[in-house]
Structure formats: structure tokens, C-alpha cells
């Protein structure tokens, strides 16, 4: 899943490790999220959105599998 997490993190001047600590996840989880290799749990997505004061859909970009709507 594409996302804006890396840009938001950098805007706040946070390292991946710092954000991971704030979200109670590992640095590796933040790396995987930023690369789009891992989709966050609903709870983690809410924590991230609250931390950055953004809507979940403003951070995580969902593109459904329905090719007719693209």
C-alpha cells in the first residue's frame, strides 16, 4: 500500500527509530511501512493518523483491485 509516512516523518524531523518508539513498533516495521511492504493494523494506522493529526486516508493510499473504477 502506498503511503505518505516517510514525508510526514521527515517533516517532523523524526528518524525511523524515533517514530517506531513513539508508535511502540520496531524501526523495521516503520521501514516496511514506508516501502509499502507492510500494511499497518487498524490500531497502528489510527495511532499514526492521530500522531500526525491527519486522516488515515491522507496517510495511507488504498487502491482497490477493481480495475473498472480506475
Tell me the pLDDT tens digit for each residue of 19-63.
999 999 999 999 999 999 999 999 999 999 999 999 999 999 988
pLDDT at 67 over 90: no
> What predicted TM-score, i.e. pTM, was given to this entire model?
0.85
Q: Which phi and psi angles does 2 have, rounded to 5°?
A: -70, 155
Angle, helix 42-52 to helix 16-23, in steps of 10 degrees: 110
pLDDT for 70 equals 41
* Residues in CB range of 41: below 8 A, 6 or more apart: none
* Domain, as residue range, for 9: 2-53
Q: Which phi and psi angles does 36 have, rounded to 5°?
A: 75, 20
In a domain, 36, yes or no: yes
What CATH number is given to the structural domain containing 39?
1.10.260.40
Q: Per the structure, how many domains does the chain have?
A: 1
In a domain, 69, yes or no: no
In a domain, 68, yes or no: no
How far is residue 18's CA from residue 27's CA, in Å, rounded to a whole number? 8
Amino acid at each position: 500500500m502506498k503511503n505518505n509516512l516517510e514525508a510526514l516523518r521527515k517533516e517532523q524531523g523524526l528518524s525511523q527509530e524515533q517514530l517506531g518508539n513513539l508508535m511502540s513498533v520496531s524501526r523495521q516495521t516503520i521501514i516496511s511501512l514506508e516501502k509499502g511492504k507492510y500494511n499497518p493494523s487498524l490500531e497502528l494506522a489510527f495511532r499514526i493518523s492521530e500522531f500526525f493529526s491527519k486522516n488515515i486516508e491522507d496517510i495511507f493510499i488504498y487502491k482497490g483491485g477493481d480495475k473498472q473504477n480506475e
